[in-house]
A and B are shown apart, each in its own frame.
Chain A
Amino acid sequence: MKIYLDNNATTPVKGEVLDAMLPFYREQFGNPSSVHWAGRMVSGAIEKAREQVARLINCSPAEIIFVSCGSEGDNFAIKGTADALKHKGNHIITTSVEHPAVLETCEFLEKQGFAVTYLPVDEHGMLDLAELEAAITDKTILISVMWANNEIGNIYPMAKIGEIARRHNVRLHTDAVQAVGKIPVDVQQAKVDMLVLSGHKIGAPKGVGAMYLKRGTRITRFMHGGHQERNRRAGTHNVAGIVGLGVACELAQQNLEKDYRFIRGLRDKLEQGILNSVPDVKLNGHPDADLRLPNTLNVSFNYIEGESLLLFFDMKGIAASSGSACTSGSLEPSHVMSAMGVDIVLAHSSIRFSFGADNTEDEVDYILTELPSIVQRLRDMSPLYHRQEPTPLHCDECRMVHKV
């Protein structure tokens, strides 16, 4: 049995998407910027995809810029704004739970002389909008808040944030990589100025994404070179990838309600099943499921380190992910868990299950059968389980390694 529950990491390319793409590797191989027949054959395809993407998020096609991935979009939006508006101010507001594509871009800008406010979140991973508003100064040039969080699935109230940004006349960027295709995303309604989405999270291939740039929004180029994308982003188009992204957006729009209901049903079943059958489990993220993505479940299995749990799941064919340090590639567990003030052991114990439309109820049943014994086996191995004495918390060596 192979069960894929890591759709927030990436998704398989949908059949319809791949079918639509293949001709653009074969017969329709031209460069859309060329004037001859081979170029003409493909330029229409790019524009069609642009319309498909625009329709999903309710903007005009001219406001869509194709990029190579979500990370590029976030870099472009933030660095491009910082440069274009540096005469106005040097202050950026973002949150402490953003994806590294945003966080590290902001940290880079801090080194260039920008000041960044990283808004804290509460224990449920939620923002205080009064705090956001209070952080705005006459030097604030950008607010960047993700539409939905990749680790815990929390959905941030973009329409309310949009209103605040508008009221203060501050530009708003949102990393909607995890929101698009899972919940309704409407840039008009939310009043955002820039939005970023990524193909491989919604059934399109890796290596393609898009940025919505509201008409009239000034931005400094990020990728220099040719005149593609109306001079806003250089680089020969990833034609097949863009075509795939268009089709994936169209499918997302058609299936949004149906997928939401189906996926949420599976997620809720797994969530309830785990909380009811395994003791000492903590749900990470907002307890109100309406305020989380329908597909994401993040839970901490106390006393167990996340990677070892993932490896045992893997032996049973179950693919999930973890916020533990061992899997994040750093020496510290997930910054999202830290921002929420999650206990350090629980942060290392966190597991994320993220569903897609291909998952089935049988898979959920299988997981619920296998999981309790795996958890118990690892707990029986853990010196933290039934521990009397205090748990050693600090590592001097790590601190040193982390600081250099």
Chain B
Amino acid sequence: MTKEITTKLLVIGGGPGGYVAAIRAGQLGIPTVLVEGERLGGTCLTIGCIPSKALIHAAHEFERAQHQAGDSPLGIRVQSPSLDIAQTVRWKDGIVNRLSGGVGALLRKAGVQVIKGWAHIEDGKTVRIEPADGEAVRMHCEHLLLATGSEPVELPMLPFGGPVVSSTGALSPETLPRRLVVVGAGYIGLELGMAYRKLGAEVAVVEAAERILPGYDEELTQPVLDALEKSGVVLHLGCSVQGFDEKHGVHVRSARADEFALPADRVLVAVGRRPRSTGFGMESLQLDMAGRFVAVDAQCRTSMRGVWAIGDLAGDPMLAHRAMAQGEVVAEVIAGKARRFEPMAIPAVCFTDPEVVVVGRTPGEARAAGFDCIDAAFPFAANGRAMTLEATKGFVRVVARRDNHLIVGWQAVGQGVAELAAAFTLSIEMGARLEDVAGTIHAHPTLGEAVQEAALRALGHAIHI
């Protein structure tokens, strides 16, 4: 005899989209139940953004320490540092635990009931939950929110297991590999590849495209490319992987059909993620799809009444902050408010070193969209703060319409530019023109001055260049 529970809103998935929707729904007084099979926080908090940033930070600090151990121009002299990778992972796990626990506390505070277990959809209003412990529950709900997220794509010739890991495995290493081969030069592969390089591994990257970070333009990726080369990461662009054996390593075929092997004691496959749309009975709803994603409207409604989808399941870009924003929209729509998910821009950050930020349209995208645009970049080489941080690589670039100077895009590459995403996105959401940013006092000395200077330069009168 299964237990029957009735609620107004049932959220499947406790990642950034699902937990935000549930908290907001709870705040609005909607009886809400959230089902999560693993840990609250989802990919982002437990096996994605947060742990990777922790590892990247640790790697960065280790590299700085090594940098000082040499002949530091800053005059700092330290003994040669060493790394206890197990402690690094424990430290990272501590952060993840704290955040995941925090999400649980927030959900409790909002009055959301959390059930740990795997959901199986029976129909658009009924979901069976098999908890890890205890008996199965049958949920009846008025609204069903699908927030199941995504999972790493597996390559058939490089199945996960043993030394072949996904990003999840790469974020919890028990030991450091001596030679790591990263398959895929997208942001996940490069972020982790660079971190491992800093931690001391020899790193080679295999990418089928002819360039790294294929989503970004070459001007933006050039500083990253320079940094990869400088740090000794070996790039094999235009190459495809054929397989792996522990003796020879990763078999690679180049564009000219040469075959060679890259010795490796660990292989990170980071060739993308796919929405998690199977395995929990969603097929039975026969929802309209948009390619591999569930098709949703501006309010995140699927083709079935009362069934909603958000986050990685419901389209690109697969980014936590997009899922969170959608989760809020859905909760408020269910609460009877008029809401739509229609941001002017969704920022995207790549935590390589240097970091890359893209908000809105790049010059090429603006042109392709039929806008007559001007763009201008301000290099960090001309920024005082960047010099004091030994971070003069990179630039801030702005793209604006030529006719009314409305800003349609910002891009930046450089150390620490991730934090500029807030200013970029706000200016676009507020409909700022170049003159608005140019006329705003930006604190000196900060990297943010480059933002103002880029706008000034687009207007033809930058001061410091």
Asked if A pairs with B, the answer is: no
Residues of B within 8 A of A (CB): none
